[in-house]
Homo-oligomer: A and B are copies of this chain.
Amino acid sequence: MHAPVELAKSYRLLNHGPTVLVSAAHGGQRNIMAAAWSMPLDFNPPKVAVVLDKSTVTRQLVEGSGTFALNVPTRAQAEATLAVGGISASELPPGQDKFAAFGLSAFAAERIDAPLLEGCAAWLECRLLPEPHLQHQYDLFLGEVIAAWADPRLFADGHWLDAAAGSTVHYIAGGRFFATGEAFDAKATPRRS
């Protein structure tokens, strides 16, 4: 289930630092991988940054197509996140991709070719901002968000709903995650004197 998210509010889909899945497609091939290292980079036009190791097939598809999607998985997808993060598409039998290998369903993005993983909390469709030095030197990829979607049961009217507590995940290491915990409001500390 996905509803459009206003681009100026799309940074909020990543602002709390969830682990994401990066998907891309190019030349008849599609792939998806886990990335703990992503963040918003700007509000409007919204931009994102994500680290893609040189060994990954997804990186080749991002460089080939000039586009990628960030999918924000739910806690129910933690096992799938670990699965697509734990194997390279290059290790699969010819003709099989990770979607088929792990029984994952995808739907079409609106503005780009990357497949979007069904059942996620949110999705950001991105156009690569080519920065060859950054990509080569730091494995760092920048993108402009050109369409965004969220599960309206979790995020609506530009805000995460109360139901979002516990719904996304934050990778630690070794197959272990933190769930996103409860939301709370802080008041600013008054200034002294």
17 further contact pairs, Cβ within 8 A, besides A78-B186, A159-B173: A15-B36, A15-B37, A16-B36, A17-B39, A39-B39, A42-B139, A86-B188, A100-B192, A101-B191, A101-B193, A131-B134, A160-B172, A176-B183, A176-B184, A178-B180, A179-B181, A181-B182
**Interface residue? A64 (CB, 8 A):** no
**Interface residue? A49 (CB, 8 A):** yes
Chain A count of residues within 8 A CB distance of the other chain:
63
* Copies of chain A in the complex: 2
A26 cross-chain contacts in B, Cβ below 8 A: none
Interface of A is mostly: mixed
- Provide 19 A-B residue pairs closer than 8 Å at the C-beta atoms, listed in order of the A residue: A12-B173, A16-B36, A38-B39, A39-B39, A41-B139, A41-B140, A78-B184, A78-B186, A86-B188, A87-B191, A101-B191, A103-B192, A166-B181, A170-B170, A175-B187, A177-B183, A178-B180, A178-B182, A179-B183
